[in-house]
Chains A and B, each alone.
Chain A
Amino acid sequence: GQNIDQPTEMTATEGAIVQINCTYQTSGFNGLFWYQQHAGEAPTFLSYNVLDGLEEKGRFSSFLSRSKGYSYLLLKELQMKDSASYLCASMDSNYQLIWGAGTKLIIKP
């Protein structure tokens, strides 16, 4: 079956760095997406990886290892506004997104 695993909740301190891991098993693979979702709001796109390696975009970076079925989202210089859920999604062979349940990130001052 298809499965996406990510931690349910993580806590980090303002100004610090946090890494949110995601492992995936899907029928085929056409890329890995990360989205941010603040409570009560819609998900918003953060990053897309289809090749192995690290993609950096400001304070956020995303890494992919296709051979290991593994990705992570790295958030640097954490700010209070980064408190949100982070959703990992793998695109399968039919170009459908299979979503993880999300990681709730709590930032403490």
Chain B
Amino acid sequence: DAGITQSPRHKVTETGTPVTLRCHQTENHRYMYWYRQDPGHGLRLIHYSYGVKDTDKGEVSDGYSVSRSKTEDFLLTLESATSSQTSVYFCAISEGQGDYNEQFFGPGTRLTVL
């Protein structure tokens, strides 16, 4: 199994508070991704990174920011959490993109915004 951890695994917070989720990998993979998963929806890409300090927006990036200061860490920040951001958040990594470069997923963080 790919070495990916996420912290915290569960979090309950209140509307308007900032929240940071951490993804840590030990695989030295170049690409890292943040997804959210909601009932009735497929996984939706929030942001991704293709190297240290290199990030780009995904499909549902509004209200989220990311940072990657080291190869192994990718942080997702909700600047001011809203109830619509209640979700399960998955981090994923891949060595490259395209042919046969599957993504490996972390265990997920369940976030509840009250």
What residues of chain A have their CB less than 8 Å away from a CB belonging to chain B? 4, 30-31, 33, 41-45, 48, 50, 87, 89, 91, 95-102
Contacts and interface: CB of A to CB of B under 8 A. Distances in A.
Q: Is the interface of B mostly helix, strand, loop or mixed?
A: loop
B105 A44 contact: yes
A101 B42 contact: yes
Interface in B22-62: 40-45, 48, 58
For chain B, the bracket of interface size reads 20 to 34
Interface string B94-105: 000111101111
B37 to A, nearest CB: 9
A53 to B, nearest CB: 16
Taking each of A30, A33, A42, A45, which has the highest tally of chain B beta carbons within 10 Å of its own beta carbon? A42
A33 B97 CA distance: 13
Contacts of B58: 96
Given A4-B42, A96-B58, A102-B42, A42 B102 contact: no
